[in-house]
């Protein structure tokens, strides 16, 4: 046991010592009482009172002074046996008090406490034996007589044996107390760790991902919670970046669609939004003019600084400066070391050079339409630059559409004869579409036939090589030295004709990776360390424009050792596009149902709310009801309302369409509501829920009634006339 562990156990042993002191204190009092009883029978009042008082003083005076000592207690208790021997005038039975003293001292759980009592008893017994001829010793032998050598030796052996047994028992009790204390400390520590993990988990569940772990030595659960917190932080960061890109593209997309017919306004509005959204300080948009001529150049279409439009005229030749270079090279330029006087940002506080500049070519299918330039006092993040590149593609496409629209208008204005030609072209296009549709149907039949043939071939293959080559996933396995040991045909086909052509079994998996070597080596090393990786990346294989999902896992032997890793990847481009499209549709749906005074909500067949617009939520919130998706509509309706609405829901869930008008009393006011309840069908034409739309037509109702009253009044007036 370490010194630190012994220090931790001291309070427990001290508690045992305190309890033993209490037992010893009661024993001293009892022994004094026994001494007075013996004095009454043997007329030894002087011995009982003087000797007992002396021993009581030796016991309680140190106790009162705070110098309580267990070895002194042992000596005092053993001294009472000498006093009893004197009072009993040497009766052999007086020796039994010694065994009682040893039993009392066992409460200390310390064999060393037995030594003062043992030594005093051995000394006293030896004096009785060797000094039996001495006159003062004979006072102790009046009733018992002289001790023989055999009795002396037998007594010594018995006392020594019993004392040894008590010592062993004391050590055993001491060890058991220590073990119980260690278990208690371990339990306490475990409870503290549980409470620590609980508090940390509660902080994470409340969204505090920056919460610090309260302990410096987390257990396995604590380490798992820390790992989970790290994963949540990473996921939150990724989600924030994706949300930044998605929301920005949606906003700018709305602007592009709204001003596609006015190129100047389009450039002004788009640049204003980009400068605001990226928190830039200056920005400009240039377009390529007089394309494919000797006079081809970049023209400044719009400029913004501190959210204000700058009316400037500027022309930049192709290849001139950073703007011209970006247009010629068709690549983004990002600078953090900005030359002096390249761009000066002026504000009410003075002038200063920006910290970073990003120049993004506006490309449409590798064709440069213009250039976007932004300057800022802060550095642009990588995801912001990627966002600008995506926006650049949309802007380029819209500029082309805008210019195409302008040219189309000019052509339409030049001659009405183009109408017939366009009709002919439309007819030809329709025929081409029909032919294309027929071709696509034929291709679909061919594809189905090929798929069926492929399935039959796959079913016949029954070995590992056939199994891994049957999948469309790319599979590679390598050892700990990055040597490829397995590669399926799908992977070989991907690499054929690319920079990785020739990479096969036995080759070094890192030798042809080029600029991404360190990145992929990092992934491989993490897998060889036991980590399971799953992520989606845009393919770096030459000629591929896809997104691929990667699964990198360690290969573990029968004994648990890692002997290599496997890399499985698949094309998830369509899923990636679908996820982006789903996200866009979600924004559109929310915008449609939330910007209206009508109430919208939908439930499934279990009456669980699937969606509810903000207007409905606000109306329920006024009544103190928190309406949200996932809640049962029956939980928020009163019993009276359920009697009315539940049959309506059941009809709609059975496929019936309902349309009715009803009155609803709100305080002292009567509202008239027009209600539509429509069943919701899935692709199999099965009812999976219903949608409820309520429209307030009170004002319309009042207007109709007022018109009827006026008409009736006029009719009465005509009759009177």
Whether residue 551 is found in the same domain as residue 642? no
Whether residue 485 is found in the same domain as residue 542? yes
Which CATH number do you get for residue 321? 3.30.450.40
Per residue, the 3-state secondary structure of 229-287, as one string, reads HHHHHHHHHHHHHHHHHHHHHHHHHHHHHHCCCCHHHHHHHHHHHHHHHCCCCEEEEEE
- Structure-model confidence comparison of residues 294 and 193, the more confident one: 294
The predicted structure's pLDDT at residue 665: 72
The pLDDT-based confidence of 49 (bands split at 50, 70, 90) is confident
Most confident of the ranges 88-102, 209-223, 436-450, 665-679: 665-679
List, as one string, the DSSP characters of 195-235.
HHHHHHHHHHHTT-TTPPPS-SS--HHHHHHHHHHHHHHHH
The pLDDT-based confidence of 146 (bands split at 50, 70, 90) is low
The predicted structure's pLDDT at residue 679: 92
Whether residue 375 is found in the same domain as residue 434? no
Which CATH number do you get for residue 664? 3.30.450.20
Closest CA to 403 of 370, 371, 381: 370
Q: Which residue has the tokens 């890399």?
A: 567
Q: Which residue has the tokens 């593209």?
A: 249
Whether residue 142 is found in the same domain as residue 15? yes
- Structure-model confidence comparison of residues 720 and 60, the more confident one: 60
Q: What is the CA radius of gyration of the chain?
A: 48
List, as one string, the DSSP characters of 386-427.
HHHHHHHHHHHHHHHHHHHHHHHHHHHHH-TTHHHHHHHHHH
Residue 229 lies inside a defined structural domain of this protein: no
Closest CA to 381 of 583, 238, 549, 232: 238
Closest CA to 48 of 97, 73, 83: 83
Whether residue 161 is found in the same domain as residue 72? yes
The pLDDT-based confidence of 459 (bands split at 50, 70, 90) is low
The mean per-residue pLDDT over the stretch 302-312 comes to 60
Lowest-confidence pick of 109-118, 342-351, 397-406: 342-351
- Structure-model confidence comparison of residues 212 and 175, the more confident one: 175
Whether residue 115 is found in the same domain as residue 18? yes
DSSP conformational letter for 365? T
The predicted structure's pLDDT at residue 306: 47
Whether residue 31 is found in the same domain as residue 161? yes
The total domain count for the chain is 5
Residue 353 lies inside a defined structural domain of this protein: yes
- pLDDT at 506 > cutoff 80: yes
- Separation between Cα atoms, residue 91 and residue 107, nearest integer Å: 28
- pLDDT at 139 > cutoff 70: no
Whether residue 56 is found in the same domain as residue 86? yes
The predicted structure's pLDDT at residue 690: 93
Residue 379 lies inside a defined structural domain of this protein: yes
- Separation between Cα atoms, residue 24 and residue 39, nearest integer Å: 22
Whether residue 517 is found in the same domain as residue 655? no
**Under 8 Å between Cβ of 586 and 592:** no
Kindly report the length of the chain.
721
The predicted structure's pLDDT at residue 131: 58
Measured in whole angstroms, the distance separating CA 640 from the mean position of its chain's CA atoms is 43
- Token pair in block for residue 571: 């094309």
- pLDDT at 302 > cutoff 80: yes
Lowest-confidence pick of 272-276, 471-475, 574-578: 574-578
How large a percentage of the chain has pLDDT more than 70?
78
pLDDT 10s digits, 273-286: 888 888 888 888 89
The pLDDT-based confidence of 525 (bands split at 50, 70, 90) is very high
The predicted structure's pLDDT at residue 351: 53
- pLDDT at 312 > cutoff 60: no
Residue 196 lies inside a defined structural domain of this protein: no
**Under 8 Å between Cβ of 343 and 282:** yes
Whether residue 407 is found in the same domain as residue 476? no
**Under 8 Å between Cβ of 474 and 481:** no
- pLDDT at 473 > cutoff 50: yes
Whether residue 446 is found in the same domain as residue 486? no
Q: Tell me which residue range forms the domain holding 646.
A: 596-705
pLDDT 10s digits, 581-607: 756 665 556 665 676 778 888 999 889
Residue 542 lies inside a defined structural domain of this protein: yes
pLDDT 10s digits, 540-564: 676 677 888 889 999 998 888 998 9
Q: What is the mean pLDDT of the chain?
A: 78
The predicted structure's pLDDT at residue 483: 92
If DSSP codes are grouped into helix, strand and coil, which group holds residue 109?
coil
How large a percentage of the chain has pLDDT more than 90?
5
Residue 472 lies inside a defined structural domain of this protein: yes
Lowest-confidence pick of 150-154, 173-177, 232-236: 232-236
Mutual angle of helices 114-130 and 70-87, in 10-degree steps: 30
- pLDDT at 142 > cutoff 60: no
The predicted structure's pLDDT at residue 233: 61
The predicted structure's pLDDT at residue 313: 56
Residue 206 lies inside a defined structural domain of this protein: no
Q: Strand pairing of 350-352 and 333-335?
A: unpaired
- pLDDT at 513 > cutoff 50: yes
Last residue of a domain, one of 168, 184, 200: 184
Residue 248 lies inside a defined structural domain of this protein: yes
pLDDT 10s digits, 205-220: 666 656 666 655 666 6
Whether residue 537 is found in the same domain as residue 683? no
Classify the C-alpha dihedral 493-497-503-504 as positive or negative.
Answer: positive
**Under 8 Å between Cβ of 521 and 529:** no
The predicted structure's pLDDT at residue 347: 41
């Amino acid at each position: 046991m370490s010194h630190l562990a012994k220090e931790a156990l001291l309070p427990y042993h001290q508690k045992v010592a305190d309890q033993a002191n209490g037992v010893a204190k009661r024993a001293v009092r009892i022994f004094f009482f026994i001494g007075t009883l013996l004095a009454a029978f043997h007329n030894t009042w002087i011995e009982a009172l003087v000797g007992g008082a002396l021993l009581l003083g030796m016991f309680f005076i140190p106790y009162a002074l705070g110098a309580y000592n267990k070895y002194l207690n042992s000596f005092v208790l053993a001294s009472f046996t000498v006093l009893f021997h004197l009072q009993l005038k040497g009766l052999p039975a007086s020796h039994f008090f010694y065994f009682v003293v040893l039993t009392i001292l066992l409460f200390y759980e310390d064999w060393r406490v037995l030594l003062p009592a043992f030594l005093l008893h051995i000394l006293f017994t030896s004096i009785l034996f060797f000094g039996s001829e001495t006159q003062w010793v004979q006072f102790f032998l009046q009733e018992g007589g002289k001790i023989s050598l055999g009795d002396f030796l037998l007594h010594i052996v018995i006392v020594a044996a019993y004392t040894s047994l008590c010592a062993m028992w004391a050590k055993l009790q001491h060890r058991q107390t220590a073990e119980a204390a260690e278990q208690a400390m371990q339990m306490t520590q475990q409870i503290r760790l549980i409470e620590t993990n609980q508090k940390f988990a509660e902080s994470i569940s409340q969204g505090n991902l920056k919460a610090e772990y309260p302990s410096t030595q987390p257990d396995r659960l604590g380490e798992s919670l820390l790992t989970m917190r790290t994963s949540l932080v990473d996921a939150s960061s990724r989600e924030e970046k994706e949300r930044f890109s998605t929301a920005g593209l949606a906003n700018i997309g709305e602007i592009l669609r709204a001003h596609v017919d006015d190129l100047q306004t389009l450039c002004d509005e788009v640049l204003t939004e980009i400068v605001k959204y990226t928190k830039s300080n200056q920005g400009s948009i240039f377009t390529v003019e007089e394309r494919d001529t000797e006079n081809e150049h970049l023209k400044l279409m719009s400029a913004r600084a501190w959210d204000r439009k700058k009316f400037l005229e500027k022309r930049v030749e192709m290849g001139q400066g950073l703007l011209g270079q970006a247009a010629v090279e068709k690549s983004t330029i990002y600078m953090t070391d900005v030359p002096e006087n390249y761009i000066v940002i002026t504000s009410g506080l003075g002038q200063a050079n920006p910290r970073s500049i990003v120049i993004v070519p506006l490309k449409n299918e590798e064709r440069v339409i213009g250039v976007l330039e932004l300057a800022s006092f802060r550095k642009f993040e990588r995801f912001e630059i990627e966002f600008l590149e995506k926006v650049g593609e949309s802007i380029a496409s819209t500029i082309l559409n805008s210019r195409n629209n302008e040219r189309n208008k000019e052509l339409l204005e030049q001659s009405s004869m183009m109408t017939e030609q366009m009709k002919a072209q439309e007819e030809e296009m329709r025929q081409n579409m029909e032919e294309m549709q027929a071709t696509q149907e034929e291709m679909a039949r061919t594809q189905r036939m090929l798929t069926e043939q492929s399935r039959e071939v796959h079913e016949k293959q029954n070995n590992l090589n056939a199994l891994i080559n049957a999948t469309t996933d790319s599979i590679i396995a390598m050892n700990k030295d990055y040597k490829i040991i397995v590669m399926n045909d799908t992977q070989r086909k991907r690499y054929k004709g690319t920079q990785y052509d020739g990479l096969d079994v036995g080759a070094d998996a890192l030798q042809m990776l080029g600029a991404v070597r360190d990145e992929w080596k990092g992934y491989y090393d993490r897998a060889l360390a036991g980590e399971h990786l799953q992520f989606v990346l845009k393919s770096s294989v030459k000629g591929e424009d896809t997104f691929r999902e990667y699964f990198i896992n360690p290969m573990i032997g029968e004994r648990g050792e890692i002997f290599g890793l496997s890399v499985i990847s698949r094309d998830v481009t369509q899923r990636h596009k679908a996820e982006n499209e789903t996200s866009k549709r979600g924004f559109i749906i929310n915008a449609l149902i939330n910007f209206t005074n009508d109430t919208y909500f939908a439930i499934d067949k279990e009456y669980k709310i699937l969606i509810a617009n903000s207007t409905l939520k606000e109306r329920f919130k006024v009544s103190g009801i928190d309406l949200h998706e996932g809640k049962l509509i029956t939980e928020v309706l009163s019993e009276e309302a359920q009697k009315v609405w539940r049959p309506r829901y059941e009809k709609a869930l059975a496929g019936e369409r309902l349309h009715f008008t009803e009155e609803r009393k709100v305080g002292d006011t009567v509202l008239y509501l027009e209600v539509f309840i429509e069943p919701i069908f899935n692709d199999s034409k099965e009812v999976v829920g219903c949608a409820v739309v309520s429209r307030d037509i009170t004002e319309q109702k009042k207007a109709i009634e007022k018109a009827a009253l006026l008409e009736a009044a006029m009719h009465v007036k005509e009759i009177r006339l």
